[in-house]
Structure 1
Amino acid sequence: MQQNLKFVYQHPLLSENDLEKLASKHQRTEFKKNEFLLREGEISAEYYILESGIVRGFVHDYDQNEITTEFFVENDIVIVPSSLFQKIPSQENLQAVMDCVLWKISYDDFQELFHEIEGFREWGRVWFSYQVFSMKQRSLDVVMKTASERYLKLMKEKPQIIRNVPLKQIASYLGITDSSLSRIRREI
């Protein structure tokens, strides 16, 4: 079984047999730098587990500027939940920042396994709870932490982003200008 799938799907209620079933429904896929996994307006039909590379989520603001909403790194689940689960057009774009290897599972296969494997349902509940917590924490960080603190947190939690992602994308993710990010990097 693919190691990163085993890492992502770890839960005490998932047996080795369950993990093998899950793995059998994933397909290895690759995206080259700048290729889109999902474009704004499309309806997501799958999600991915990132084996290597970096993917970013972004939207266009009212002036058509790209605003990075998320970075996905190794072992992250690359997903736009609202589009996948509600079957609505995505407001976000998912784009490879660098060449990526991912493991894709279709919505239909996910649903089948979700209903069949009790441990997978429990894993999903825990994963979604963590995502809600993370989103809430990120919105609190924007209000309660300085730009420097947010940058240092990103540097600590996902250093590969600092090393591999263009500054303009990092700055928009942090909610600051490119020049502010350059100043912060000089001061640190």
Structure 2
Amino acid sequence: MFVIGSRIYKRVVLNFTTKNRNITTKKYRMKTEILEIYIQSVLPMKIEIAEKIASKFDRFELSKNEFILQENSISEDTYFLESGFVRSYTFDNNGNEVTTNIFSAPCFVNDFLSFFTQKPVKENYQTLSNCIFWKTNLENVQYNFHNIPEFREFSRLLFIINYYKLHDRMLEMVKENATLRYTKLLEKHPNIFQNASLKIIASYLGITDSSLSRIRKEISKI
């Protein structure tokens, strides 16, 4: 499953990048085009099917530092992040914020366990920049699941992708040193450093602010 997830995740990144290259030169069929492209990057399908899935989503915007979900709330919707950055965080035993994930568009952002079980969220999900989202509720997801075979396969692959990301991050935290984790984040997602404070990035990397400053100074000397 891990190998399959890795291949799917790499394919999604490649497919979305390839399809998105000419997005500014084409006339939009509809405002959901970026969502449709993402859906097709996960699972190639007829455009009419992708449009049908995307039609169940509603667009909204949030400014920097707003919440889409807060701890102990119920996730009534699932969210696709079209543009911007979001972080999830919780608190340790000493009351310090611990950033558990940083989401970079395009991707889905949600506490899927809360969404499908309707149990309280255990983290906070906060925007790091101005963001554009698309949301849909559980009723719409269930409708698509029972009426669109491609959506069932898309959902399965999406869960594999999320599992792979979670598993990969867990192994990175155990097997890689802080400097390597920092350089990999810088290479893969350089824009995060323009949208998240060093305190948030340090927390995400599992190190202190001072350790991150030291790593940055050492790298700048190379």
* TM-score where L is the length of structure 2: 0.81
AA matched with 2:135: K
Identical pairs, percent:
44
1 CA distance for matches of 2:211 and 2:218? 11
Hey, what's the Cα distance between the residues in 1 that align with 2:157 and 2:96?
34
**Offset at 1:70?**
0.8
Query: Match for residue 123 of structure 1?
Result: 154
**Given the alignment of the two structures, is residue 163 of structure 1 paired with residue 194 of structure 2, yes or no?**
yes
Deviation at 1:7, TM superposition (A): 2.5
Count of residue pairs brought into register by the alignment: 187
**Alignment-mate amino acid for residue 4 of structure 1:** I
Q: Distance in 1 between matches of 2:138 and 2:186?
A: 33
- Of 110, 114, 117, the residue aligned with 2:141 is 110
Where do 1:146-157 residues align within 5 Å? 146-157=177-188
Q: Which residue of 1 aligns with 2:16?
A: none
Within the candidate set 179, 182, 185, 2:213 is matched to 182
Q: Summarize deviations over 1:35-54 as a string: whole Å, max 9, x none.
A: 11000000101111111111
Aligned to 1:50: 81
Gap regions ≥5 residues in structure 2: 1-29
Alpha-carbon shift at residue 24 of structure 1 (Å): 1.1
- Equivalent position of 2:34 in the other structure: 4
Q: Give 3-state SS (helix, strand or coil) of 2:134's partner.
A: strand
| Unmatched runs of 5 consecutive residues or more in structure 1 | none
Q: Residue 67 in 1 paired to residue 84 in 2?
A: no
Query: What is the root-mean-square deviation in Å for CA atoms of aligned residues?
Result: 1.1
**CA deviation vs aligned residue, 1:118-171 (integer Å, no higher than 9, x gap):** 111111111111211211111111111010111111112221112210011110
Give the greater-gyration-radius structure (CA).
Answer: 2
In structure 2, C-alpha distance between the alignment counterparts of 1:167 and 1:152, rounded to whole Å: 14
